[in-house]
């Protein structure tokens, strides 16, 4: 985001919407994509109550959740999400019918 002062001022994107991923927005607003800190790639933190991280099934599952969310959000731009008739929305609409 960038701001412009004055009567005609306001906020605008600093880069084209096609270059901004939804994941970047989520990370900037909410932090890591991972539901648990031990499943995060960029903000890893060991869980305090974890006895054996290497065999922890919850961590493995949360990594899968994180990877699935990342696969979608890192590959969807703000421009795509804002588009009225994206392929993803068309598929969902077809399933509802």
Which pLDDT value is given to residue 90?
58
Distance CA 59, CA 55 (A): 8
Nearest to 13 by CA among 76, 78, 82, 95: 78
Whether residue 93 is predicted with pLDDT greater than 60 in this model: the reply is: no
pLDDT digits (tens, 9 = 90+) for 11-36: 888 899 999 999 999 999 999 999 99
pLDDT digits (tens, 9 = 90+) for 59-89: 999 999 999 999 999 999 999 998 866 566 5
Which pLDDT value is given to residue 19?
94
Which pLDDT value is given to residue 80?
92
Distance CA 24, CA 33 (A): 10
Burial of 26 (0-12, 13-18, 19+ CB in 10 A): middle
Distance CA 79, CA 68 (A): 21
pTM, to two decimals? 0.70
Whether residue 9 is predicted with pLDDT greater than 80 in this model: the reply is: yes
**Among all chains, which residue has been given the structure tokens 């703000």?**
78
Distance CA 76, CA 63 (A): 20
């Amino acid at each position: 985001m960038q701001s412009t002062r004055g009567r005609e001022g306001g906020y605008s994107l600093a880069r084209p919407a096609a270059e901004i991923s939804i994941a970047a927005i989520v990370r900037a607003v909410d932090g890591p994509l991972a539901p648990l800190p031990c499943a995060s790639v960029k903000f890893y933190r060991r869980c305090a109550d974890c006895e054996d991280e290497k065999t922890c099934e919850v961590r493995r599952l949360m990594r899968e959740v994180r990877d699935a969310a990342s696969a979608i959000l890192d590959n969807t731009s703000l421009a795509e999400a804002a588009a009225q008739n994206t392929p993803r929305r068309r598929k969902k609409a077809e399933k509802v019918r």
